[in-house]
Amino acid sequence: MPKLNKPGTNIEGQLMQLRAPSKHFSDRRRVLIGGAGLALLPKNVFAKASFPERPLSLLVPANPGGGWDQLARLMQQIITVAKLSPKPVDVFNKGGAGGLIGLAEIMTRRRDDPYTIMVAGLGLIGSCISQHSPFQASETKPLARLIVENLMVAVPANSPNKTMEGLIAAIKADPESITWAGGSAGGTDHILIGLITKACGVSSDKLRFVAYSGGGEASAAIMGGQVTAAVAGYGEWKGLAEAGHIRVLATSAPERFDDKRAPTLKESGLDIVFQNWRGAFAPPGTPDYAIKWWAKMLQEMAARPEWKSYLEKKGWVDGFMGGEAFADLIVAEEKLSSATLKELGIDGTKGGNSPVGPWAVPKAIAALGVVSAAGIAYEHFKAKPGETIAPAGAEDDDEGGGPLPIWSRFLAGAILIPAFIAALNFVGFAIATPIFILAICLLMRSTTLKWDVVAALGITGAIWLLFSRILSVALP
């Protein structure tokens, strides 16, 4: 059973001692050679003393509200209040594909940017494996593991499953009736759910898992009763549980903690212990002077009393690990996660568990748009000179079938809107939206069906681009 190493002690890098300058520099030749040598040194050697010279950025490869986002904003707060940086620090989200969109940003566009680091965790490693990412977390420059977090299993407040034993019985009785929610496919939430399913004696192909781009969205799903159960970090759900919005059934921790109310999975009859961690990663092209500055600053941040106080408040464990130890941990976690995901059948090799890529929606929309445009062009060029193509519905008008009365169209439109909202939860935004737009066009007696299809696909694509890529808000 996969277990995370216990939080390690602080690992400090030894500082290089500068050689004392020679006392005999009167020799002109030595001066000239020394000057030539300085000229050949990389300019980033001199940039060390002045770094940073402009604002810093913390990239969160997930939507707002989740654990990665919460940690990044805590870092921003502590760095600002404690004046650990001479320049301001901002946080920006680039969610999607379980963190792979943000990872690709660090590995490509910001590859040599010393002013940006990424805040992510163990779940990113699983996403890379399950979605066959061209990039891996180990290819970045790991700065520090910052916290360790226990995961929690929860259900809606009004769920008939009052205990973990009750949920286990429901899983064994009818596994396909249980819909789980969590973070990215292949991430820590998904892995724990897979372990629970396996421990219940259920095949992984019967696992129904809905992946969300951020913990905030998964929390909304569980509160709204859209799923049967969900898994997330304790820090993400502590406030919701205390407010009575959700019911926590068990923890993946080795023993009870905090208020001691949530039993462990072991107490509930499942031999499972599993912990998550989060940390900071620099782009692969980050120069050494910036790596040293970030590492020193993060170590100072983790030693602040307000940092430790907030960790205790959130139920997070101080798991600071820096230097090469963190890099070695990531390599080990990649091997362990790969083996675990393969064993559970959620490594992306089975069709049922392999999530669509982040560009599946625009590709499908573009393909349909090309087909529609090709059909229009074909009819246009096929028509003889001077010949016009009768619009759809013209025959009906000639036979006396005029447009529907206004009140009938208003009533039909009033029915279409809630039907569209309901369809979003069943078939998703990419399918429901163009159908809804086409239905409105037909309701208004449009006579240009092919152009309506192109318009519907174009509007759908524009909305998707605005929310998913510009605003980083996941669509259903």
Least confident of 143-152, 197-206, 362-371: 362-371
Cβ-contact 460, 427 below 8 angstroms: no
- Name the residue among 219, 278, 365 with its Cα closest to residue 69: 278
Task: Assess whether 319 and 264 both reside in one domain.
Answer: no
370 within some domain? yes
Give the count of beta carbons closer than 10 Å to the beta carbon of residue 334. 17
The number of residues in the chain equals 476
Q: Is the pLDDT of residue 380 over 80?
A: no
The verdict on 251 and 333 lying in the same domain is no
Q: Are residues 130 and 161 in the same domain?
A: no
Long-range contacts of 68-75 (CB under 8 A, 24+ apart): 68/99, 68/119, 68/120, 68/121, 68/278, 69/93, 69/214, 69/215, 69/216, 70/215, 70/235, 70/236, 70/314, 71/119, 71/146, 71/147, 71/278, 72/119, 74/307, 74/310, 75/119, 75/146, 75/280, 75/301
Distance, in Å, from the CA atom of 187 to the CA atom of 255, rounded to the nearest integer, reads 22
Q: Report percent pLDDT > 70 for the chain.
A: 71
Name which residue leads in pLDDT, 471 or 185.
185
Residue with the larger pLDDT of the pair 228 and 26: 228
Whether 349 and 342 have beta carbons less than 8 Å apart is answered as yes
Q: In the prediction, which pLDDT does 26 show?
A: 41
Q: Quick one: CA dihedral 151, 152, 156, 160, positive or negative?
A: positive
In a domain, 10, yes or no: no
Least confident of 66-75, 222-231, 411-420, 451-460: 411-420
Compute the distance between CA of residue 322 and CA of residue 292 in angstroms, rounded to an integer: 11
How far is 112 from 119, CA to CA, in rounded Å? 17
What are 188's two structure tokens? 């820590």
Which CATH number characterizes residue 326's domain? 3.40.190.150
Task: Please indicate, yes or no, whether residues 341 and 376 belong to a single structural domain of this protein.
Answer: no
Nearest 5°: the CA angle 314, 320, 326 is 130
More confident residue, 349 or 436: 436
| Cα distance between residue 162 and residue 181, in whole Å | 18
> Is it the case that residue 180 has pLDDT exceeding 60?
yes
Note whether residue 441 is domain-resident. Answer: yes
Is it the case that residue 120 has pLDDT exceeding 60? yes
- pLDDT band for position 187 (cuts 50, 70, 90): confident
pLDDT (0 to 100) of residue 389: 46
**73 and 156 co-located in one domain:** no
Is 234:228 a contact under the CB 8 Å cutoff?
no
Q: Averaged over 14-37, what is the pLDDT?
A: 37
SS3 label, residue 333:
helix
In terms of domains, do 373 and 339 share one? no
3-state secondary structure of 24: coil
Does some domain include residue 246?
yes
Residue 462 has φ and ψ, to the nearest 5°, of -65, -40
Q: pLDDT tens digits for 228-253?
A: 999 988 878 888 888 889 999 999 98
pTM above 0.75, yes or no: no
Last residue of a domain, one of 333, 351, 369: 351
Considering the chain, what is the average pLDDT of its residues? 78
Domain end position, chosen among 211, 246, 275: 275
Q: Is the confidence at residue 297, as pLDDT, over 90?
A: yes
- Report the pLDDT value the prediction gives residue 24, as an integer from 0 to 100: 38
Same domain, 193 and 94: no
pLDDT over threshold 70, residue 323? yes
- Residue 284's CB is within 10 A of a number of other CB atoms, namely 14
State whether 192 and 43 are in the same domain.
Answer: no
Q: What is the pLDDT of residue 4?
A: 41
Domain boundary among 351, 381, 407: 351
Task: Return the CATH number at 159.
Answer: 3.40.190.10
pLDDT digits (tens, 9 = 90+) for 325-357: 999 999 999 998 888 888 877 765 544 333 334
The Cβ-side half-sphere exposure at 14, using a 13 Å CA radius, reads 3
Both 365 and 450 in a single domain?
yes
Q: Measured at the alpha carbon of residue 427, what is the angle toward residues 134 and 439, in degrees to the nearest 5?
A: 125
For 33, the domain range is 28-147+278-351
Q: Which of 96-100, 161-165, 393-397 is the most confident on average?
A: 161-165
Is residue 364 included in any domain, yes or no?
Answer: yes
Model confidence at 185, in pLDDT bands (50, 70, 90)?
confident
Question: 169 lies in a domain?
Answer: yes
Q: How confident is the model at residue 48 (pLDDT cuts 50, 70, 90)?
A: low
Q: What is the mean pLDDT of residues 62-85?
A: 93
273/253 Cα distance (integer angstroms): 6
pLDDT given for residue 342 in this prediction: 85
3-class DSSP string for 411-441 = HHHHHHHHHHHHHHHHHCHHHHHHHHHHHHH
Is residue 302 included in any domain, yes or no? yes
Q: Is residue 44's pLDDT more than 60?
A: no
pLDDT of residue 158: 92
Please provide residue 168's backbone torsions phi and psi, each rounded to the nearest 5 degrees: -60, -45
Total of domains in the chain: 3
Residues 401, 383 within the same domain: yes
pLDDT at 96: 82
> Are both 345 and 236 inside the same structural domain?
no
313 in the same domain as 248: no
